[in-house]
Structure 1
Amino acid sequence: MRIRSLLLALLLVVVGVSATAAAYQARSGDADERITEAAAADAAEHTVTLRNETDSHVWVGSTANTDGSLPLTELPTLAPGQSATVTIPERSGAGHWRGTLFARQGCTGEEGTTFHCAVGDCGPFADRCSLGEQPVGLAEFNFDTADTAAPWYDVSYVNAVSVPVTITPDGVAPPENGGECAEAGCPGDLLSACPPENLTREQGTGKPLVCVNPNRDAKTAYSEALTRQCPRAYAWSRHDAEAGNQVVRQCSKCTGLTVTFHGAGAAR
């Protein structure tokens, strides 16, 4: 009788231990799942939202650096007032993405053969670039998973300016006096500041199309005029070396960034 009682007690202990172990494993599994979900959230790739606030269609173009950055394809065509979002492949390929996004305008022709654009032409495809772009204003980015301060971003008119471009971080409140997560670029009319000798106009209508920098590696009347109009954008290649410049920004806290192509008469 005493042996039977001892066996029964031992059985109850074993059952209790097994139940405790099962409960622990369940809790541990839940915790592992939460950790996995958190890691997945941390690993989420940034996005760039593209907004067309001009009065005409914009075909979005892009170039990627030749450092392992993957080229962007299936880029949107935006009617006035439209927006679209692309995911940046910063965790693919080399583990970073460095490149540009820009507005192509006045595009006509047959996809894959005769398609071309009056501004920012970069090959015969509407949804991607197969050639380097003709001079145009650029939204430039450095998304680097190894850089805790990334992404870095700037608006560059080093080669040319057409529509005004701004870059604004998503998911954070922009600071009042510049610094981290500040807006890059300016929404105001820039073509009106272009020196006449650098301005290209649309044939027939005379509408200003693009202002091309005559010397990207030196200060010129072009760079001086653009800097006065928009100090938060590159106007020449060494602009970032000037004391007190405001041309490059970074925002480690943002979920993505918004690039807005503004109308020539935009103001803020």
Structure 2
Amino acid sequence: MADDFRAVPTAAPPETGAAAAVPHTVTFVNRSGKKLWIGSTVNKGEPDGDSKSLKSLPTLNPGQSATVKIPENTAPHHWRGKFFARQGCSGRDGSTFHCAVGDCGRFARRCVTGEQPVSLAEFNFDMKDRDAPWYDVSYVNGFSLPITIAPRGAENVTANGSCSKQGCKKSLLRYCPKNDRVRNASGKVVLCVNPSRDARSAYSDAIEKHCPKAYAWSKQDAETGNKTMRQCSRCKGFVVTFW
């Protein structure tokens, strides 16, 4: 289920290779043409312990990349959470810092509140689950920037889609229903917000049509033939690209 599932050089690294060694890494690549502040939040209320929040996240100018290590090899021995791109940020770090899209609090390098509706890269790294990591691109709450997730150092994509690249490079803002559009001060559409994340809608139909390898609404993974969530147990990590 999207949002709470349990189950470097700027060029993206190759997607095939040897078995993984923990901890896994996630490399962020900024192909959006905009300055991005990476944000992250973790799932809360987990019965086997909440994941550790990441406290040092990168800021990327256009064309830049950066890598973080996932803290899965210390208690509680899993990391379940999401990454996203914050846009249009300004202000004094720790005081007046604020982002126009994807705001999550007053700090540039970490989040202290839940994120505003944006495009998400979601992960479940779990040392107790031999099929993990699990991953998906989620536009369930909203769409801001295109995201792709590509396993790094993984075996070839299998017949059932394990280790496949998820998401899409295409901007979907042009397909956003008029009532779901959010504009900036200049009148440009910068965000599309899902009005009904737990049910099918004109929003989810548009997202699914143009990006079938991303979640468009929360129960999409239960539909026959869906392509939303994947796992890649032998990868070394992932490349998350913002387009």
User: For this structure pair, what is the TM-score category when the shorter chain's length is used for normalisation?
Assistant: 0.7 to 0.9
Deviation at 1:172, TM superposition (A): 2.5
1:123-142 alignment, distance < 5 Å:
123-142=105-124
Deviation at 1:177, TM superposition (A): 6.5
- Provide the residue aligned with 2:11 in structure 1: none
Is contact 1:99-1:140 (8 Å) kept? yes
- Provide the residue aligned with 1:239 in structure 2: 220
Whole-angstrom distance in 2 between the partners of 1:179 and 1:74: 32
Deviations 1:177-206 (A, max 9, x none): 6611001111112111111110111112x2
Deviations 1:16-64 (A, max 9, x none): xxxxxxxxxxxxxxxxxxxxxxxxx975300000010011100000001
Q: Which runs of 5+ in 1 are unaligned?
A: 1-40, 263-268
Q: 1:62 aligns with which of 20, 40, 64?
A: 40
Q: Given the superposition, is the C-alpha separation of residues 252 and 197 from structure 1 closer, same or farther in structure 2, using an over 3 Å criterion? A: same
SS at match of 2:124: strand
Is contact 1:162-1:191 (8 Å) kept? yes
User: How many equivalent residue pairs?
Assistant: 221
Letter aligned with residue 110 of structure 1: R
Greater relative contact order, per chain length (Cα 8 Å cut-off, separation 6+):
2
Whole-angstrom distance in 1 between the partners of 2:21 and 2:41: 24
Is contact 1:62-1:102 (8 Å) kept? yes
Deviation at 1:80, TM superposition (A): 0.3
TM-score w.r.t. structure 1 length?
Answer: 0.80
- Provide the residue aligned with 1:34 in structure 2: none
Stretch moving more, 65-74 or 157-166: 65-74
Whole-angstrom distance in 2 between the partners of 1:177 and 1:79: 37
Whole-angstrom distance in 1 between the partners of 2:171 and 2:211: 10
Deviations 1:141-198 (A, max 9, x none): 0000011111000000110000000100001255386611001111112111111110
Deviation at 1:247, TM superposition (A): 0.1
Q: Given the superposition, is the C-alpha separation of residues 224 and 42 from structure 1 closer, same or farther in structure 2, using an over 3 Å criterion? A: closer
- Provide the residue aligned with 2:198 in structure 1: 217
Q: Given the superposition, is the C-alpha separation of residues 176 and 65 from structure 1 closer, same or farther in structure 2, using an over 3 Å criterion? A: closer
Letter aligned with residue 100 of structure 1: K
Deviations 1:126-152 (A, max 9, x none): 000000011111100000001111100
State, as a whole percentage, how many aligned pairs show the same letter. 57
SS at match of 1:71: coil
Whole-angstrom distance in 1 between the partners of 2:202 and 2:156: 32
Whole-angstrom distance in 2 between the partners of 1:81 and 1:174: 27
Whole-angstrom distance in 2 between the partners of 1:220 and 1:42: 39
Is contact 2:176-2:203 (8 Å) kept? yes
**RMSD over aligned Cα, in angstroms?**
1.5
TM-score w.r.t. structure 2 length?
Answer: 0.88
Bigger Rg over Cα: 1
Q: Given the superposition, is the C-alpha separation of residues 148 and 75 from structure 1 closer, same or farther in structure 2, using an over 3 Å criterion? A: same
1:10-159 alignment, distance < 5 Å:
44-66=22-44, 67=46, 68-159=50-141
Letter aligned with residue 69 of structure 1: S
Q: Given the superposition, is the C-alpha separation of residues 177 and 166 from structure 1 closer, same or farther in structure 2, using an over 3 Å criterion? A: farther
Structure 1 consecutive aligned stretches of length 4 or more whose deviation exceeds 4 Å: none
Return the structure number with greater helix share: 1
